[in-house]
Structure 1
Amino acid sequence: MDRAGVGKVCLALPGVTLDHPFGDDHDAYKVGGKMFVMVGGGGSISFKVSDIAYEVLTESGHARPAPYMARNKWVNLPQIDDWADDELAEHLVIAHGIVAAKLTRKARAALGL
């Protein structure tokens, strides 16, 4: 998967917006104003995972703790294409679900979630 592929997967999810808070070379995908995926200018990708997935992915070496976001259970892949497309897409959908579930009931209803 490439940067455009990540965008296609993320923007197909309900209530998702694309923002560039760190400059045009970084894509931040948000749901309800909360970021769940970040694509860096150098081709890296970081995303939110569950507590269990964080432990499994970082301990097995499949991903590394995301810089500045590891305490919030985010992982990082140095290159977007480090994983198979379907595996990465599944994690992006899960990241969306984790963040969306933490939104208020009112915010979820306004987004159609």
Structure 2
Amino acid sequence: MTPKQIDRFCASLPAATRIVQWEGVIVFKVGGKMFCLIAPEDHSIGRISFKSAPEHYDALSRSPGFRPAPYLARAKWVSVDDPKALTDAEMKAYVRRAHAVIAAALSKKKRKELGLAPTQARFKPFRTASVPLAHAHERAGRSRSGRA
């Protein structure tokens, strides 16, 4: 896909908004949260960058044609310098998934305001801990104050 085709595809996704910022970078958002960036050629962030599902980030960021997105890698974003390296179906699938991951992280109220059906936001946001914070401290042999 060309960047223009990706631009049109992103704009077609439910509740997607488009703005231009950061030296001409096209930013697509859902609910005010970014899910895809389309940068001018030779921009430092890469030609196309998008949010990856957290559970797929490590494998995807090491795959041929992908790299961790500069400035956004800690948030599990990847960049593709040559969008033509992927088939149209692959690029659409990655961008659609990025949109779904961000939409799923929105509050139920926000999703309802945007008209996003539960099936359009079916991916649960990533959680780093499966036990409450107080229990995590106790398991580590410390109280909430950090003392043993």
Q: Which bracket does the TM-score occupy, shorter chain normalised?
A: over 0.9
Name the TM-score, length of structure 1 as normaliser: 0.92
Aligned residue number for residue 29 of structure 1: 28
1:1-113 to 2 correspondence within 5 Å? Answer: 1-23=1-23, 25-42=24-41, 44-113=47-116
Q: Secondary structure at the residue paired with 2:35?
A: strand
Report how far residue 59 of structure 1 moved: 2.5
- Which has the larger Rg? 2
Distance 2:63 2:8 in 1: 28
Structure 1: tracts of 5 or more residues without a match: none
* Higher normalized contact order (CA 8 Å, seq sep 6+, divided by chain length): 1
Structure 2: tracts of 5 or more residues without a match: 117-148
CA contact (8 A) 2:25 2:40 kept: yes
Name the TM-score, length of structure 2 as normaliser: 0.71
Give the aligned length.
112
For residues 71-97 of structure 1, the C-alpha deviation after alignment (integer angstroms, 9 at most, x for no partner) is 000000112222111100000000000
